[in-house]
Copies of this chain bind each other. A is one copy, B any other.
Amino acid sequence: MSVADWIAVDWGTTHVRAWAMGPGNSVLAADSSTKGMGTLKPEEFEPALVELAASWLPKDRTIDVLACGMVGARQGWVEAEYLPVPTPPLVPARFRQADAANVHLAVSIIPGLKQSAPPDVMRGEETQIAGFLSQTEGFEGVLVMPGTHTKWVRVAEGRVLGFNSFMSGELFALFEQHSVLRHSLAADDLSSDVFQETVGAVLADPGLAVSGLFRLRAEDLLEGQDASVSRAKLSAYLIGSEIAAARSFWQDERCALIGSPALTDLYSRALETCGCAHETHSADTLTLQGLCAAKALLEEDKR
């Protein structure tokens, strides 16, 4: 295993992924573990990182580690205080240095963004946004970033202007794991046709997403409705009412969808239903590109 030039880290609540980076932002190696922020005390972050990256570390010089995500939360390695919007997504002067016992590790944690009116926060997505902007110069429009807490983000002139987070992803998980609907949702997939049709119905009448929820239970009890249909409807209720509530973001705007393949597929179908043209990007790819952008800014800053 060759020694890295620098190390990129995406450190979320439940997982951590690290890349050994070589010349020209080439990836020499990659690894991941389930030692997410949620499982670690502050003093446990450095050992968790070294466990992943031991073979990539040089013995005789300092190596930069650029990390984004919940690692910078108050309960993380060290708190990287939110940058207020409007702001460029990455401001190297505000990267937070984390103490490490190994003097050769120079760890920089990328801060999240905050908005004061109305209050909102993000942590991790700012790096994807920077990755996106590094690939799509001059973009002006809205980024739709589905996840546990989906973000709708206004961007112009290389800056984040404002954003709104939605809980649809977490809500789906709550219904699936803890609600009276959980038995009715036990399927691996969902019916795409039912999803798209129901999104259309919700956009025409957002109240359906509220009045139709318990119906999923009754449809199962009385008609033995297939779980893949129930999943499609619940997903459409949540995503459809999110898109209806976010109308001021997407209407007459250029939109780009950033996320995992499964989620961007759903959101893409839903955005099509309301006639919102959009491009789609992989969040994983953009995260690494954002960490590369962060590293480049750090270098500029050092000069």
Contact = CB atoms under 8 A, between A and B. Distances in A.
Interface stretch (A42-50, A216-224, A288-296): A216-224
B119 A222 contact: yes
A206 B241 CA distance: 10
Interface stretch (A16-24, A176-184, A264-272, A277-285): A176-184
Interface string A107-124: 000000011101111000
Contacts of A35: none
A214 B152 CA distance: 12
A227 B180 CA distance: 26
Contacts of A210: 166, 241-242, 244-245
A218 B170 contact: no
Interface in A198-228: 206-208, 210-215, 217-219, 221-223
A156 interface: no
A252 B37 CA distance: 53
Contacts of A121: 217-218, 221-222
Q: Give the size range of A's interface with the partner.
A: 35 or more
Nearest to A180: B170
Contacts of A245: 207-208, 210-211
A70 to B, nearest CB: 12
A167 interface: yes
A183 to B, nearest CB: 11
Contacts of A114: 218, 222
Nearest to A73: B221
A235 B219 CA distance: 27
A91 interface: no
Contacts of A170: 179-180
A167 B214 contact: yes
A221 B122 CA distance: 12
A96 interface: no
Interface in A145-203: 149, 164-167, 170, 174-175, 177-180
Contact of A120 (B166, B215, B247): B215
B214 A166 contact: yes
A246 interface: yes
Interface of A: 82, 114-116, 118-121, 149, 164-167, 170, 174-175, 177-180, 206-208, 210-215, 217-219, 221-223, 241-242, 244-247
28 contacts: A82-B222, A114-B218, A115-B218, A118-B212, A118-B215, A118-B218, A119-B215, A119-B218, A119-B221, A119-B223, A120-B215, A121-B221, A149-B180, A165-B218, A166-B213, A166-B214, A170-B179, A170-B180, A174-B175, A174-B178, A174-B179, A177-B178, A207-B245, A208-B245, A210-B241, A210-B244, A210-B245, A211-B246
